[in-house]
């Protein structure tokens, strides 16, 4: 295995890609080769770091120096100064948050108050390389589930963890799985709702772009728990990078035998397919989503019967959102109690937010449940541009609450 003295991580999320990060990568590779250090330094295209306002973003390890708003013309200096001579390019460090060049990006205010579980690998690994995912404990949870746990054990862990659906409904995930597990049927299905449609939201897109294997692994775990051997990821076609990386990830998982027949040499088989949404907002609603997967016009159908009883093709089905799934492997590995120790009494764990509008650090953040709106806006978000006063904030999608100044202390949870 080739060892490198330095890694250059370049954000390959949708935001930074649209700001030319692909060109930056090829320029980096060219400059590195030019300097003859291509065997010492590795360039990695990762998922989203979260600080989208400052993109394109590059992080150089081992120092952990984060360079922001990097232009193609800056690459030569980064290679010659930092990678060849070991001198950090101070002018490219984020002015507001990293005060000391010796402090790594992770310790900046933006990251310090975050707790990354669903986003743990985003901006860390190359999402198109399954080996990198495996190196970060990937598929270990699936192995544990298949070899050490019964389906009931899995359901119990998820129930005890207190995990609630991250798509907005906030339904307890473990209870949903238990409903589906208890149904007698010749066929069951596991679906992933990646039809993220709320204006301004890109949490699920970022997970799929940055860490697609976490969703694949979680869906296989869910399949084992409820007794399903087939899964579908319904992802909107407007997320081309996510679709591409998910496709690569599924193929790699199949090649490694982590999807398909007799996974880990057990009796459990599970396959996964992608279904593309054609941009209908309503297809993010679970029954419309299933109707669309079935090949019909995506329109909702009455509940009850609930999907856990009669879902896809009238078979018991569970649908979870991307972010919900991304939490699952960590819960299995670290235990329900670990997860339940994060967050509030009724809302456990963390929540990913896409932060946008009149705020300095627009981007993607993951915070423990119960973090106040004030902390999100002023600490993580870096406040309001030009020192202006806060007027109002909106959470969730269009239909959600609008918070006025008086309730900046409002704690963000899954319980409204």
Partner 1 sequence: MQMVNITIDNCKIQVPANYTVLEAARQANIDIPTLCFLKDINEVGACRMCVVEVKGARSLQAACVYPVSEGLEVYTQTPAVREARKVTLELILSNHEKKCLTCVRSENCELQRLAKDLNVKDIRFEGETSNLPIDDLSPSVVRDPNKCVLCRRCVSMCKNIQSVGAIEVTERGFRTTVSTAFNKPLSEVPCVNCGQCINVCPVGALREKDDIEKVWDALANPELHVLVQTAPAVRVALGEEFGMPIGSRVTGKMVSALSRLGFDKVFDTDTAADLTIMEEGTELLNRIKNGGKLPLITSCSPGWIKFCEHNYPEFLDNLSSCKSPQEMFGAVLKSYYAQKNGIDPSKIFVVSIMPCTAKKFESQRPELSSTGYPDVDVVLTTRELARMIKEAGIDFKSLPDKQFDDPMGDASGAGVIFGTTGGVMEAAIRTVSEILSGKSADNIEYNDVRGLEGIKEASVELEGITLKAAVAHGLGNARKLLDKIKAGEADYHFVEIMACPGGCVNGGGQLYSHQW
Contact set with partner 1 (CB under 8 A): 280, 297, 299, 301-302, 304-305
Is residue 261 classed exposed, middle or buried when 0-12, 13-18 and 19+ CB atoms within 10 A define those classes?
A: exposed
Kindly report the number of other CB atoms within 10 A of residue 72's CB atom: 14
Element of type H or E holding 112 = helix 109-112
Residue 388 burial by Cβ neighbours in a 10 Å radius (0-12, 13-18, 19+): exposed
Location of structure tokens 């996964």: 272
Cα dihedral value 383, 386, 387, 390, nearest 10? -70
Nearer Cβ to partner 1 (299/345): 299
Q: C-beta of 170: minimal distance to partner 1 in Å?
A: 11
> The sheet that has 271-277: what strands, in order across it?
271-277, 230-236, 189-194, 317-321
Closest distance to partner 1 from the beta carbon of 183 (Å): 17
Closer by beta carbon to partner 1, 295 or else 304: 304
- 261 or 296: whose CB is closer to partner 1? 296
To partner 1, the closest distance from the beta carbon of 182 in angstroms equals 17
226 vs 283 by CB, closer to partner 1? 283
CB 67 within 8 A of CB 78: yes
Q: How far apart are CA 325 and CA 117, in angstroms?
A: 11
**Closest distance to partner 1 from the beta carbon of 346 (Å):** 17
Q: What are the structure tokens assigned to 320, written together?
A: 């979870």
Nearer to partner 1, 287 or 360 (CB): 287
Query: Shortest Cβ distance from residue 226 to partner 1 (Å)?
Result: 23
For partner 1, the closer CB: 288 or 326 = 288
State in angstroms the smallest separation of the CB of 174 from partner 1.
Answer: 20
CB 302 to partner 1: min, Å:
4
Q: Closer CB to partner 1, residue 23 or residue 301?
A: 301
By C-beta, is 62 or 304 nearer to partner 1?
304
Helix, strand, coil distribution of the chain in percent, nearest 5? 40, 15, 40
Rounded to a whole number of angstroms, the minimum distance from the CB of residue 181 to partner 1 is 22
Cα separations in angstroms, 224 against 70, 110, 153, 246: 44, 37, 11, 21
Tell me the closest approach of the beta carbon of residue 280 to partner 1, in angstroms: 6
Q: Which residues pair with 193 in a beta bridge?
A: 234, 321
Residue number, 195 or 217, with CB nearest to partner 1: 195
User: Which H, E and C letters describe 243-307, residue by residue?
Assistant: HHHHHHHHHHHHHCCCCECCHHHCCCCEEEEEEEECCCHHHHCHHHHHHHHCCCCCCCCCCCCCC
- Shortest reach from residue 178's CB to partner 1, in Å: 19
Q: Using an 8 Å Cβ cutoff, are 370 and 344 in contact?
A: yes
Nearer to partner 1, 257 or 305 (CB): 305
Name which of 62, 94, 67 is nearest 78 in CA terms.
67
CA 342 – CA 286 distance, rounded (Å): 28
């Amino acid at each position: 295995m080739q060892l490198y003295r330095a890694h250059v991580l370049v954000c390959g999320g949708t935001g930074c890609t649209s700001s030319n990060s692909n060109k930056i990568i090829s320029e980096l590779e060219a400059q590195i080769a030019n300097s003859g250090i291509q065997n010492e330094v590795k360039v990695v295209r990762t998922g989203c770091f979260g600080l989208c306002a400052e993109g394109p973003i590059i992080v150089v390890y081992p120092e952990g120096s984060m360079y922001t708003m990097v232009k193609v013309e800056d690459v030569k200096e980064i290679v010659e100064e930092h990678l060849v001579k070991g001198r950090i390019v101070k002018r490219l460090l984020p002015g507001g948050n990293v005060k000391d060049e010796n402090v790594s990006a992770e310790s900046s205010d933006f990251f310090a108050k975050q707790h990354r579980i669903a986003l743990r690998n985003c901006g860390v690994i190359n999402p198109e390389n399954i080996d990198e995912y495996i190196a970060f404990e990937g598929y270990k949870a699936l192995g544990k589930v298949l070899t050490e746990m019964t389906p009931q054990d899995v359901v119990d862990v998820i129930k005890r963890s207190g995990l609630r659906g991250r798509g907005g409904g906030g339904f307890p995930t473990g209870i949903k799985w238990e409903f589906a597990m208890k149904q007698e049927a010749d066929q069951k299905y596991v679906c992933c709702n990646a039809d993220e449609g709320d204006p301004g939201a890109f949490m699920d897109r970022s997970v799929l772009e940055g860490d697609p294997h976490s969703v694949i692994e979680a869906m296989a775990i869910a399949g084992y728990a409820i007794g399903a051997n087939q899964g579908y990821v319904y992802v909107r076609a407007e997320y081309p990078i996510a679709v591409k990386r998910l496709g690569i990830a599924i193929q790699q998982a199949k090649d490694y035998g982590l999807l398909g027949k007799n996974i880990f040499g057990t009796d459990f088989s599970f396959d996964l397919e992608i279904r593309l949404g054609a941009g209908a907002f309503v297809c993010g609603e679970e029954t419309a989503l299933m109707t669309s997967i079935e090949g019909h016009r995506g329109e909702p159908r009455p509940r009850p019967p609930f999907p856990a009883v009669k879902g896809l093709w009238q078979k018991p089905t569970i649908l979870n959102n991307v972010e919900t799934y991304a939490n699952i492997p960590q819960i299995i590995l670290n235990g329900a109690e670990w997860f339940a120790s994060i967050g509030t009494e009724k809302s456990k764990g963390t929540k990913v937010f896409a932060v946008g509008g009149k705020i300095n650090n627009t981007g993607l953040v993951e915070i423990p449940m119960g973090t106040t709106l004030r902390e999100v806006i002023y600490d993580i978000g870096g406040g309001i541009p030009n020192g202006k006063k806060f007027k109002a904030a909106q959470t969730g999608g269009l239909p959600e609450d609008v918070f006025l100044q008086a309730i900046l202390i409002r704690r963000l949870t899954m319980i409204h």
